[in-house]
Amino acid sequence: MAEYDGTVFVCGIALNIDQFLGIFERIFLIQIDAATQEARLMADDAANPPGRGVAGRQEIRDGRTVFESEMLRLGAVAIDGRSPTAVVVDEILAVVAAI
């Protein structure tokens, strides 16, 4: 990535994100509420049988607020993930364009 002369987006969750912050100009948190999270968990499980187990879903539920707090502490730009995908993308691209 360091040799590429353009914008690169890396998506995912890393438990050791603090070790990699230095290679990114910006980090984003696509933030959702509990109801949105639950709806998306159920939709994903329905679309991808057999889906996650009860313990896997609970781990995701329990970790959301901790993860969000940590990302914001690390300086992530919060984006409202309840918005339509096109709006989320436009908000991210607007921040990137301002860099």
- Per the CB < 8 A criterion, the answer to whether 21 and 74 are in contact is yes
Q: Give the pLDDT confidence of 32-88 residue by residue, as tens digits.
A: 999 999 999 999 888 888 888 889 889 999 999 999 999 999 999 999 999 999 999
Question: Looking at the DSSP assignment, which residues form a beta bridge with residue 79?
Answer: 30
Phi and psi angles of residue 80, each rounded to the nearest 5 degrees, phi first: -75, 105
Peptide bond between residue 84 and the one before it cis (omega within 30 degrees of 0)? no
What CA–CA distances, in Å, run from 22 to 28, 51, 96? 14, 35, 16
pLDDT at 50: 85
pLDDT at 13: 85
pLDDT exceeds 80 at position 91? yes
- pTM of the predicted structure, to 2 decimals: 0.81
Sequential DSSP letters for 34-58: HHHHHHHHHHHHHHSTT---HHHHH
